[in-house]
Chain A
Amino acid sequence: MIFLGLIAVGVVFCGVVPFVVMPGMGYGMALPVITVPGETLTDSFLGTGLPLTNTIVGTLLADVVVLLFAFGATRKMKEVPGRLQGLFEVLTDALYNLVKTTAGAKNAAKLFPLVATLFIFLLTANWLELVPGVDSVGMMHCAEAGFSGYERDGVTLYVPKAMDSGVRATEENYEACHAAEAGHTDPTLEAAREAAITAAAAELGVETVDWKADVGNSNTLADYITAQGGDPEAVYQAAIEALGNAEGEAAHEEGATEGENAAEGEHAAMSPEDALQKALYEPFWRDDIFVVTSFVRAATTDLNLTLGLALLAVIVIQIFGVQALGVKYFAKFINTPALEDAGKNPMGVMDFGIGLLEIVSELSKVLSFGFRLFGNIFAGQVLLFVIPFLIAWIVPTAVYGLELFVGLIQAFVFAMLLLVFSAMAMEGHGHEEDAHH
């Protein structure tokens, strides 16, 4: 029964909602914008001058979730654990056993807190991308050149059909859109359009003419008027008259703002006649293309976080090594003991060379740590974006399951590699020395 219920829910949310209900309401699924850096939400967060990206929001959200769970699990600890406490006990126990078998009982106490913290944090951060609303609910802004976006319909995106992948914006689109957003539109042209639409409505004897619904994207207003049996020339005359009156009233205001306009320079003043000509005989609907910047994005899809954690991991490994072995730890890299022994054992020279290579391998750990996590989770995110636009049925669910697995594995691998490398650094050349003793 539960299984059937799940299937029913799946059918409703995979089929009925995106294909029937949402188009019925005039909404469609929009492809989210895919960028590697986290998208900036505000340039100055709470006036601090620091930019706030959606991946930072994701990081903070993951922190909050971990803290809430940990708080809930440890606030009222009981002898016989409740569900949450039981879950945390199982998790901690499994992690501690893992650390103990890998690093030995002696080092486990030292390594466990860091490894377990990273694992739990990364698990939460990775799984955050699977929460509905993350990556998809956000605010609209102009699409930059080369990105696919959608036209705007009031406060929502205009997506003509379900699962439409949008139009690619060009440089001009972005410039025009950005100018319009910033309020740099030509006032003369706007006024001319206003007048033209009023005059056209009067000429055709309808209450109002809507650019989007009636005129459409590629048609001109003049075409529309002709098609409806009106005369564009009469509309032009009526609009010119209306504009002339309005200008007379606004003349003194114009005088005040003229200095400003002249200062801007590039916005060459357009005569009302030219503006009206443009409004009537050129397609109006500016193809401003908008994209949605999500409020929250999974923290680990930002290279900054993963590379930061990778740097932390590699530095911590060195610190553990030095703590355990002292100065002898560096003999792993600059292998002077082997060089001193070279008289007895000529292979020592090669050991010295290998030691130098160890430095490179240590540096490459930063890259492999950081890129592995980032690459996996980011690719998973892109997969989750794209698959619903290829096959909208059932398959996205399977991808969801895969991502659940990948998120777990990558968190585990990150923590596990940190553990193994730390354990190796703490042991150093332990086995050889043990053999001597």
Chain B
Amino acid sequence: MEINGLDLISAAKTLGAGLAMIGVIGPGIGIGLVVQGALNAMGRNPDASGQLTTTMILGIAFAEAVAIYALVIALIILFVM
């Protein structure tokens, strides 16, 4: 099979997208910590779980935003460039 320039670009794109997604490790840990904290608090004070859930989801959203930046970079590499 002959490998042309388009194949090489495609391979580089795939590798680049994969590397870009390394950035989701941090947010993954972060979201885990957020949920851990929220669950601890809910276990201690079940009455506050309503308020805590909302705040927890917001916290997750902030941590997730960073992962989304990595994802967007990967998507741009794959589908736009």
CB of A162 within 8 Å of the partner chain: no
* Inter-chain contact B75/A102, CB cutoff 8 Å: no
Interface flag for A101 (CB, 8 Å): yes
Contacts of B57 in A (CB 8 A): 409, 412-413, 416
Q: Evaluate contact between A36 and B71: CB separation under 8 angstroms.
A: no
B10 / chain A contacts, CB cutoff of 8 Å = 146, 168
Residues 39-81 (chain B) with a chain A CB within 8 angstroms:
51, 54, 57-58, 61, 64-65, 68-69, 71-72, 75-76, 79-80
Q: B58, A413: Cβ atoms under 8 Å?
A: yes
- Interface flag for A35 (CB, 8 Å): yes
| Chain A interfacial residues counted at CB < 8 A | 25
Contact in complex: A413, B75 (CB < 8 Å)? no
* Chain A, Cβ-Cβ closest to B74: A379
**Nearest Cβ distance between residue B2 and chain A, in whole angstroms?**
12
Inside 8 A of A417's CB, which chain B residues have their CB? 58, 61
User: Given the interface contacts A145-B6, A146-B6, does A371 sit within 8 Å of B65 by beta carbon?
Assistant: yes
The answer to whether A416 touches B79 (Cβ under 8 A) is no
A372 interfacial by beta-carbon distance below 8 Å: yes
Please name the residue on chain A nearest to B66 by beta carbon: A368
Chain A residue with Cβ nearest B70: A375
User: How far, in whole Å, are A153 and B65 apart by their CA atoms in the complex?
Assistant: 44
Q: Does A34 contact B (CB under 8 A)?
A: yes
Would A371 and B68 count as touching, CB distance under 8 A? yes
Contact of B72 among A102, A145, A371, A412 (CB under 8 A): A371
The A32-91 residues at the B interface (CB cut-off 8 A) are 34-36
Complex interface bits, A175-213 against B, C-beta within 8 A gives 1, otherwise 0 = 000000000000000000000000000000000000000
- A413 and B61: CB pair below 8 A? yes
Given A36-B76, A146-B10, CB of A375 within 8 Å of CB of B54: no
A368 with B75: CB separation less than 8 A: no
**Contact call B61/A98, Cβ cutoff below 8 A:** no
A409 to B79: give the CA distance in the assembly, Å.
25
Instruction: Say yes or no: A420-B58 contact (C-beta < 8 A), given A36-B75, A371-B65, A374-B72.
Output: yes
Hey, which chain A residues are within 8 Å of B80, CB to CB? 36
Chain B's nearest CB lies how many Å from the CB of A17?
Answer: 29
Q: Give A212-252 as 1s and 0s: 1 = Cβ < 8 Å from B's Cβ atoms.
A: 00000000000000000000000000000000000000000
In the assembled complex, the Cα of A215 lies from the Cα of B68 at a distance in Å of 50
Tell me the complex Cα distance, A382–B61, Å. 21
Given A101-B51, A170-B6, does the pair A35, B65 have CB atoms closer than 8 Å?
no
Q: Given the complex, which residues of A lie within 8 Å of B65, measured CB to CB?
A: 368, 371-372
Which chain B positions have C-beta within 8 A of A412?
57
In the complex, the chain B residue whose C-beta lies closest to that of A410 is: B61
A158 part of interface (Cβ distance < 8 Å): no
Which residues 341-379 of A sit at the B interface, judged by CB distance below 8 A?
Answer: 368, 371-372, 374-376, 378-379
Q: A168-B10, A371-B68 are in contact. List 8 more A-B contacts (CB 8 A).
A: A36-B75, A36-B80, A101-B51, A102-B54, A146-B10, A371-B65, A375-B71, A376-B68
Sample of 14 A–B contacts (CB below 8 Å): A35-B79, A36-B75, A101-B51, A371-B65, A371-B69, A372-B64, A372-B65, A376-B64, A376-B68, A412-B57, A413-B57, A416-B54, A416-B61, A417-B61
